[in-house]
């Protein structure tokens, strides 16, 4: 079987490693080196669009730092000096490392050893010349930013000129419960977002989905614009990324959700730009 990376397939086992999985990122436009610490498919949320099979509530297991170091060095070497791009049929224009992204099969900030893990990744990637050319990203739902170990991790990320991609899929309490299955209040999420911007450069990512044919309601639309106005006044948010589904959900609600149309995404982005934010759109 010929292997080929795809923006629609982010399998964490594609290169046979425990912690590392390469993907072609539709938002980054090239190779994203994914880091998965939630190897047990656990998360403290359960987003209805999540593509992780057998997702469970829980936290990331302890890291095998020896194995993590071994995998990082081996994979970086293969990409920089080996046959990786040829083996996975990556188009010539995409044969560039755009970022190292800590994401994976659950919420990475549930890992208690996250500060040490980020420090190790940063040290090895810098020594091998990947950083600072590539971006260093932590993709998070932001629910644990207030915890001390997460703030220590963000300090390490900032040391390596990294950035936070902070998930915010709904601006209403009802929407957050429906889409993210989280009990965290909207006000607590806002405070964590503002705190994140003081610790490390932060981008906001908004995934809009059409649930049960309801589309993007006026209530949700107006709530988002009000929320973003508040954020604009209270913190320095770098950028907003608006996007929709690219991969099939593995959650029970999968048959009830579909991607939001590009027309809706584009119109929403235009409204956000009127608030003087930089916005990108991808479907």
pLDDT in tens, 172-198: 999 999 999 999 999 999 999 999 999
- The pTM for the full model equals 0.92
- Of 170, 178, 175, 190, give the one whose Cα is nearest residue 251: 178
Read off the pLDDT of each residue in 214-227 and give the average, rounded to a whole number.
Answer: 97
Three-state secondary-structure class, residue 115:
helix
Report the CATH number at residue 229: 3.20.20.70
CA quadruple 268, 271, 277, 281: dihedral sign:
positive
Residue 125 exposure: Cα atoms within 13 Å on the Cβ side: 26
Q: Tens digits of per-residue pLDDT, 197-210?
A: 999 999 999 999 99
Residue 283's pLDDT band (cuts 50, 70, 90):
confident
Answer yes or no: is 123 within a domain: yes
Q: Render pLDDT for 237-259 as a digit per residue (tens, 0 to 9).
A: 989 999 999 889 999 999 999 99
Could you tell me if residue 11 is inside a domain?
Answer: no
> Is 8 within a domain?
no
Host domain of residue 127: 20-282
d(CA 272, CA 242): 10
Q: How many CA atoms lie within 13 A of 249 on its CB side?
A: 21
Half-sphere CA count of 213, side-chain side, radius 13 A: 0
Give the number of other CB atoms < 10 A from CB of residue 223: 18
Residue ranges of alpha helices (H) inside the chain are: 65-81, 84-87, 114-127, 148-159, 173-180, 186-199, 218-234, 262-273
Looking at the chain, the whole-number percentage of residues with pLDDT higher than 90 is 87
- Calpha distance 9→3 (Å, rounded): 11
| Tally of domains within the chain | 1
Question: Is residue 13, in this structure, part of any structural domain at all?
Answer: no
Q: Look up residue 263 and give its two tokens.
A: 């027309």
What is the predicted pLDDT for the residue at 5?
Answer: 57
pLDDT digits (tens, 9 = 90+) for 85-112: 999 888 898 899 999 999 989 999 999 9
Mean pLDDT of 107-118: 98
Cis preceding-peptide flag for 132 (omega within 30 of 0): yes
Look at residue 59 and tell me if it is in a domain. Answer: yes
**Distance between CA 230 and CA 16 in Å, rounded?**
45
Rounded to 5°, the CA angle 265-248-17 comes to: 115
pLDDT (0 to 100) of residue 2: 43
| Residue-wise pLDDT tens digits, 53-81 | 999 999 999 999 999 999 999 999 999 99
- Flag whether 25 is in a domain: yes
Q: Does residue 63 lie within any of the structural domains?
A: yes
Residue 120 has pLDDT above 50, yes or no: yes
Q: Which of 275, 239, 281, 276 is nearest to 260 (CA)?
A: 281
Query: Is 3 a member of any domain?
Result: no
Of residues 121, 128, 29, the one with CA closest to residue 79: 128
SS3 263: helix
């Amino acid at each position: 079987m010929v292997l080929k990376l795809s923006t629609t397939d982010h399998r964490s086992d594609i290169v046979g490693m425990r912690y590392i999985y390469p993907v072609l990122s539709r938002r980054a436009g090239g190779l994203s080196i994914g880091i998965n610490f939630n190897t047990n498919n656990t998360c403290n949320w359960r987003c209805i669009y999540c593509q992780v099979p057998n997702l469970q509530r829980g936290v990331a297991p302890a890291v095998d730092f020896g194995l993590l170091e071994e995998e990082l060095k081996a994979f970086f070497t293969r990409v920089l000096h080996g046959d990786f791009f040829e083996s996975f049929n990556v188009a010539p224009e995409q044969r560039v490392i755009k970022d190292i992204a800590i994401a994976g099969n659950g919420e990475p900030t549930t890992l208690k050893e996250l500060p040490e893990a980020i420090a190790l990744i940063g040290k090895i990637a810098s020594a091998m010349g990947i950083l600072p050319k590539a971006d260093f990203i932590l993709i998070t739902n932001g629910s644990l930013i207030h915890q001390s170990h997460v703030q220590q991790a963000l300090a390490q990320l900032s040391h390596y000129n990294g950035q936070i991609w902070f998930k915010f899929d709904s601006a209403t309490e009802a929407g957050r419960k429906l889409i993210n299955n989280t009990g965290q209040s909207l006000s607590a999420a806002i405070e964590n977002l503002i705190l994140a911007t003081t610790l490390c450069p932060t981008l906001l990512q908004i995934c809009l989905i059409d649930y049960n044919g309801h589309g993007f309601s006026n209530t949700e639309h107006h709530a988002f614009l009000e929320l973003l106005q508040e954020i604009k006044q209270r913190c320095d948010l770098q950028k907003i990324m608006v996007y929709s589904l690219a991969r099939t959900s593995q959650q029970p609600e999968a048959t009830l959700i579909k991607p939001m149309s590009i027309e809706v995404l584009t119109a929403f982005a235009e409204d956000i730009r009127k608030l003087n934010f930089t916005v990108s759109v991808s479907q």
